[in-house]
Chain A
Amino acid sequence: MMEQAFFLILATLAVGAALSVIIQRSPLYSAFSLIGVFACLAGTYIMLKAQFLGAIQMIVYAGAIMVLFVFVIMLLNIRKEETALDKYRYLWLLSIPFAATLIVEVLYTILKVTSDFTSLPEMAKRPEVGDSQSIGYGLYTGYLMPFELTSILILLAIVGSVILARREKD
């Protein structure tokens, strides 16, 4: 019960913060709300016994990526957000079927996904995953190749950002 209450608090906060991301007019407030979502999600990760990713979520996502966002927002000094949605008002309509489908999905999920973390005994026998040891072991054995590929990807991202953001010398 305790756990469920805790989850509900985190989930409510996360959804509230997520709504705030799209309701806020100023990108800066959106960014802060997003950090709130990340923090709540990090809490749920820890509840799921994925401690390592919970920590990474805070350090990398909330710490590094969002700081980058905030930095760019401050650098470009964007205070006023968008004007009223005049020109592309019909895009609103596109989001309605999207939202409807997903809300139906949520309802179905709650009704139909009946399994639980303890409902499958053969699963419960396996050791818990989520500590840094199991992640590290996975990254250096079965998932070595995607891991090495991400290193190329990061190199590429560095090169790409430098190409895009540097000024011409003239």
Chain B
Amino acid sequence: MFLLQVIPSWKETLFLMPELQLTLFACFILVLDLLLPRGKKTLTAYAALIGIAFTLIGVAQVYYVTRNVLPTLIFYQMYVIDNFSFIFKVIVLISAAISIAISIKYLETEKELRGDYYSLLLFATVGMMFIASSYNLLMFYVSLELMAISVYVLVGYLKNNDKSNEAALKYFLLGAFSSGIFLYGVSLVYAITGELNLLEIAIKVSLFILGTDAKVGVGAHYLLAFAVALTGAGLLFKVAAVPFHMWAPDAYEGAPTPITAFMSVAVKAASYAMLARIFLVAFPALRTIKELPGWLPFFIGVAALTMTVGNIAAMTQKNTKRMLAYSSISQAGYILLGLIASNETGYTGLVFYILAYTLMNLGAFAIIILLRRDDIKGDRLENLSGLIKKKPVLAVMMLVFLISLAGIPPTSGFVGKYLLFAGLIKADNFWLNRLAVLAVLNTVISFYYYAQIIKAMFIDIPSDDKPINLNIFSTISLVFATVLTILIGIYPQPFIEISKSVTKNLAPVQVNQQTSPTPTPTPTNDSGIDPSIDPNLFPNVIPRK
């Protein structure tokens, strides 16, 4: 009886079904791993895939049930159900599924085939799903750590490999450091607003800027700027944006390759979900403010640096894993452009590009993983040479992923980049236009190193004659990624519609002053809520007795 009083209502718990299912599967795999004899551990991978399939069905069910009442807040406004959370859950689930599928063969080759690997991957996915749905800074922190701790362990999973251990330690220390910085930002936000709920923070922050709600002290504006900068810096660490990227190349190189793929895609997508949610829901009023630096100039600088440094560093790499690591750093810069543009096209581009990037980057890594054979590590550029002669299909698939990463039509990467750049140009601001030009220039630079891989595959002679074996899971995931990459590129309309619907009710405080570089905050009425806020944009809250 006590439980019935404690849990808000059993109905609300049902909305958590997908996450609970995945958690149960993760625990189940741990037990299954103990029961299975040594040779049969692959079964745990199947169980993990089944778990993800069930979870995807669960997400679809929750969507079906709640589609008319979106967005809804449950569990004392801790957890939000909206289109944004749905699409990010689908993205992380798909990337987890593909990462598991491409891990099976890799772990066999590394002789590290155990079930706990898949269990940790599922725990990380649970964390990411909670990030996608969090609506409270505390929830964000806990789910972020849930994701991060699993990934630390996964990076160091190859215990007999020095590089893997070292990468895990570096990633751990810098991850914990960045969490500390993020937390300090959060604590200062709490100091100013006294709230942890994103919507309450948004309201308090706008009141604070207007000077009608200065509980802490009248001149404490700088404190707010400092808080936002620290929160942003902590999160930019997680997405590996320059100058917070120093952990990324080492961690990506040392980690088991499927985990590198998972980190560069799912962890990045979840971190972006968090960044977008916090900055668009809680701090939209701080985008540009007269007396404060605001987060826009900060992000513009970071995006410009990220794109440029990532691309230039990638040009000099001979290790494909490291090259793709730097490439994914520069891709993070492009994604940030959507947040900077702060208009519908930009937000659509942000979600769309993350979706496209997930598929193409996973595909590229899947092919690198296939090159890992008996004693060939497969992460050097020369391992790719002459791929067209050995496995023409793989070479063509890799070509698709690379031209998509470079942003050449007719692939999904092109449409995504187009949307992101168009968002910047639509914003019609001097600096944003310059940024768009820089982004296009960077795309051109990136052709150079993608072309290096293409040249190796199509022109160079093979460096070894060991055959490349595909198993059924790698084949399915590669075909899936290739087909979708091309399909989204040729027929992007439905995906653009999905991305648009996702961002429609994400930011409760609409930012519509793109024309003026320094918008003045709109005056508030008695209710303390900005009158320009569309009441329909506020999430539903299930009332409680």
Query: Quick one: which of A141-169 are within 8 Å of B by CB?
Result: 141-146, 149-150, 152-153, 155-157, 159-160, 163-164, 168
Residues of B within 8 A of A164 (CB): 153, 156, 159, 168
Q: Does B8 lie within 8 Å of A108, measured CB to CB? A: no
Query: Quick one: which of B141-157 are within 8 Å of A by CB?
Result: 142-143, 145-146, 149-150, 152-153, 156-157
Q: A108-B223, A159-B116 are in contact. Are A144 and B8 (CB under 8 A)?
A: yes
Q: Does A168 lie within 8 Å of B142, measured CB to CB? A: no
Q: Is A118 close to B, CB under 8 A?
A: no
Q: Is A115 close to B, CB under 8 A?
A: yes
List the one stretch of B99-107, B213-221, B250-258, B461-469 in contact with chain A.
B213-221
Q: Mark A116-155, 1 if CB is under 8 A from B, else 0.
A: 0000100100000000000000001111111001101101
Q: Does A145 lie within 8 Å of B159, measured CB to CB? A: no
Residues of A within 8 A of B143 (CB): 149
Q: Does A159 lie within 8 Å of B130, measured CB to CB? A: no
Q: Is B210 close to A, CB under 8 A?
A: no
Q: Does A153 lie within 8 Å of B116, measured CB to CB? A: no
- Least CB distance from A138 to B in Å reads 10
A157's nearest neighbour on chain B, judged by CB, is B149
User: When chains A and B are docked, how far (Å) is the Cα of A159 from the Cα of B79?
Assistant: 26
Q: Is A109 close to B, CB under 8 A?
A: yes
A sample of 6 more A-B contacts (CB under 8 A), given A109-B223, A123-B215, A150-B142, is A113-B217, A114-B218, A114-B219, A159-B123, A164-B156, A164-B159
Residues of B within 8 A of A143 (CB): 76, 78, 138
- Least CB distance from A3 to B in Å reads 20
Interface of B is mostly: helix
Interface of A is mostly: helix
Task: Give the residue of B8, B30, B156 whose beta carbon is less than 8 angstroms from that of A159.
Answer: B30
Q: Is A89 close to B, CB under 8 A?
A: no
User: When chains A and B are docked, how far (Å) is the Cα of A44 from the Cα of B170?
Assistant: 33
- Least CB distance from B345 to A in Å reads 34
Q: Is A80 close to B, CB under 8 A?
A: no
Q: Mark B220-249, 1 if CB is under 8 A from A, else 0.
A: 101100100000000000000000000000
Q: Is B444 close to A, CB under 8 A?
A: no
User: When chains A and B are docked, how far (Å) is the Cα of A149 from the Cα of B79?
Assistant: 12
Q: Does B76 lie within 8 Å of A115, measured CB to CB? A: no
- Least CB distance from A149 to B in Å reads 5
Q: Is B54 close to A, CB under 8 A?
A: no
Residues of B within 8 A of A87 (CB): none
Minimum-distance CB pairs A-B, first 8: A160-B153, A112-B219, A114-B217, A142-B76, A113-B217, A145-B78, A145-B75, A149-B142
Task: Give the residue of B76, B130, B168, B217 whose beta carbon is less than 8 angstroms from that of A149.
Answer: B130
- Least CB distance from B222 to A in Å reads 6
B8's nearest neighbour on chain A, judged by CB, is A144
Q: Does A145 lie within 8 Å of B123, measured CB to CB? A: no
Q: Is B510 close to A, CB under 8 A?
A: no
Q: Does B223 lie within 8 Å of A113, measured CB to CB? A: yes
- Least CB distance from A106 to B in Å reads 11
Contact residue range for chain A? Answer: 20 to 34
A114's nearest neighbour on chain B, judged by CB, is B217
Q: Is B136 close to A, CB under 8 A?
A: yes
B23's nearest neighbour on chain A, judged by CB, is A152
Residues of A within 8 A of B116 (CB): 159, 163
Q: Is B7 close to A, CB under 8 A?
A: yes
Residues of B within 8 A of A163 (CB): 116, 120, 153, 157
User: When chains A and B are docked, how far (Å) is the Cα of A114 from the Cα of B6?
Assistant: 40
Q: A153-B145, A160-B153 are in contact. Are A146 and B120 (CB under 8 A)?
A: no
Q: Does B76 lie within 8 Å of A141, measured CB to CB? A: yes
Q: A113-B223, A159-B120 are in contact. Are A146 and B136 (CB under 8 A)?
A: yes
Q: Does A112 lie within 8 Å of B215, measured CB to CB? A: no
Residues of A within 8 A of B217 (CB): 112-115
Query: Quick one: which of B360-382 are within 8 Å of A by CB?
Result: none
User: When chains A and B are docked, how far (Å) is the Cα of A115 from the Cα of B159?
Assistant: 53
Task: Give the residue of A105, A111, A120, A156 whose beta carbon is less than 8 angstroms from that of B215.
Answer: A120
- Least CB distance from B392 to A in Å reads 40
- Least CB distance from B170 to A in Å reads 13
Residues of B within 8 A of A157 (CB): 149
User: When chains A and B are docked, how far (Å) is the Cα of A108 from the Cα of B136?
Assistant: 28
Q: Mark B244-281, 1 if CB is under 8 A from A, else 0.
A: 00000000000000000000000000000000000000
Residues of B within 8 A of A168 (CB): 159-160
Residues of A within 8 A of B150 (CB): 156, 160
Q: Is B126 close to A, CB under 8 A?
A: yes
Q: Does B126 lie within 8 Å of A152, measured CB to CB? A: yes
Residues of A within 8 A of B157 (CB): 163
User: When chains A and B are docked, how far (Å) is the Cα of A145 from the Cα of B157?
Assistant: 30
Q: Is B119 close to A, CB under 8 A?
A: yes
User: When chains A and B are docked, how far (Å) is the Cα of A108 from the Cα of B79?
Assistant: 36
Residues of B within 8 A of A146 (CB): 78, 136, 138-139, 142
A167's nearest neighbour on chain B, judged by CB, is B159
User: When chains A and B are docked, how far (Å) is the Cα of A152 from the Cα of B218?
Assistant: 42
Q: Does B215 lie within 8 Å of A115, measured CB to CB? A: yes
Residues of A within 8 A of B149 (CB): 153, 156-157, 160
User: When chains A and B are docked, how far (Å) is the Cα of A156 from the Cα of B217?
Assistant: 42
Residues of B within 8 A of A114 (CB): 217-219
Residues of A within 8 A of B146 (CB): 149, 152-153, 156
User: When chains A and B are docked, how far (Å) is the Cα of A73 from the Cα of B473?
Assistant: 44
Question: Could you jot down 7 A-B contacts, CB within 8 Å?
Answer: A113-B217, A143-B78, A149-B130, A153-B149, A159-B30, A163-B116, A163-B157
Q: Mark B12-35, 1 if CB is under 8 A from A, else 0.
A: 000000000001000100100000
Residues of B within 8 A of A105 (CB): 222-223, 226
Task: Give the residue of A144, A145, A160 whose beta carbon is less than 8 angstroms from that of B152.
Answer: A160
User: When chains A and B are docked, how far (Å) is the Cα of A112 from the Cα of B220?
Assistant: 6
Query: Quick one: which of B36-79 are within 8 Å of A by CB?
Result: 75-76, 78-79
- Least CB distance from A153 to B in Å reads 5
- Least CB distance from A52 to B in Å reads 17
A160's nearest neighbour on chain B, judged by CB, is B153
User: When chains A and B are docked, how far (Å) is the Cα of A150 from the Cα of B78?
Assistant: 14
Residues of B within 8 A of A145 (CB): 75-76, 78-79, 139
A141's nearest neighbour on chain B, judged by CB, is B76
Residues of A within 8 A of B27 (CB): 155
User: When chains A and B are docked, how far (Å) is the Cα of A140 from the Cα of B218?
Assistant: 36
User: When chains A and B are docked, how far (Å) is the Cα of A115 from the Cα of B223?
Assistant: 14
Q: A144-B7, A149-B130 are in contact. Are A156 and B159 (CB under 8 A)?
A: no
